[in-house]
Amino acid sequence: MVWEALEAALAHPGAFYEQGARIVDVGGGTGGFAVRLAELGHQVTVVDPSPDALAALGRRAREVGVEVTGLQGDLSDLASLVEGGADVVLCHGVLEVVPDPAAALATIREVLRPGGTLSLLVAQRHAAVIARAMAGHFPQALALLADAPDAGKTGHRFTSDEAESLLAGAGFDLVSTHGVRVFADLVPGSLLDLEPGAATSLLELERVASELPEYLSLAAQLHLLAR
């Protein structure tokens, strides 16, 4: 669903991405998204501090015969690493681990050209609270419930309101917020393996629920698009 939303944003008429967007995937890791975007003809750069992840990215890109630039670095150095800016920035699963999410978004805004698109994927706090409570870890669930993101520590999880106000605070205009994996983590894997068609039905259910604001606080992750 994240991929579909991203693909639609890139194909949006007037987005001027038909000729190939300059895309920066910050914390892009081993290139799951970056390589697919390069396959669509975009110029993709992954910035990641992990040399192992970048090596795996290089192998993955070579396997499918595309070029992806891998730069070892930290989100806070993005402006100096990415020359000429970006049409699209992906920041998937990274805001959770940086010490100051607000500063991170401000840095991303610096490299994004006016009207460019940010694809932001973050862990959603209440799903983690529910997971801990269901496992019987009630004190941890309670601690997490009150654990609003704070500059100076890492391991953040975000509610949709928190993620959206962080984006607004960094000067972004929100385009959409979708819930990702509303049910998938709650369903026993054995059920999906044993019942014919269950995986397809679950996917359809996830697709519909991802659009409904009522389900955002159950989603494991939030996918936000902003300009």
Ligand X SMILES: C[S@@+](CC[C@H](N)C(=O)[O-])C[C@H]1O[C@@H](n2cnc3c(N)ncnc32)[C@H](O)[C@@H]1O
Q: Give the residues lining the site for ligand X (CB under 6 A).
A: 26-29, 32, 48-50, 53, 74-75, 92-94, 97-98
Are the C-beta atoms of 202 and 110 separated by less than 8 Å? no
Least gap, CB of 115 to ligand X (angstroms): 23
DSSP 124: B
Q: Which two tokens stand for residue 170?
A: 């960094």
In Å, what is the CA distance from 186 to each residue of 29, 74, 140, 197? 26, 34, 18, 18
> How many angstroms separate the first and last alpha carbons of the chain?
19
Q: Which is nearer to ligand X, 48 or 164 (CB)?
A: 48
Minimum separation from the CB atom of position 136 to ligand X (A): 26
Query: 97 or 218, CB closer to ligand X?
Result: 97
* DSSP E strands, 131-184: 174-180
Nearer to ligand X, 98 or 118 (CB): 98
The closest residue (CB) to ligand X is 27
Are the C-beta atoms of residues 224 and 176 closer than 8 Å to each other?
yes
Smallest gap from residue 60 Cβ to ligand X (A) = 12
159 burial via Cβ count (<10 Å: 0-12, 13-18, 19+):
middle
Contact 87, 17 (CB under 8 A): yes
Q: How far is the CB of 92 from ligand X (least distance, A)?
A: 3
Provide the minimum distance between the beta carbon of 196 and ligand X in the complex, in angstroms, as a whole number: 30
CA distance 178 to 192: 23
Q: Is the Cβ of residue 3 or residue 138 nearer to ligand X in the bound state?
A: 3
Toward ligand X, which CB reaches closer, 103 or 133?
103
Provide, rounded to whole angstroms, the least separation between the CB of residue 24 and ligand X.
11
Nearer to ligand X, 53 or 216 (CB): 53
> Residue 159 has which token pair?
């509610």
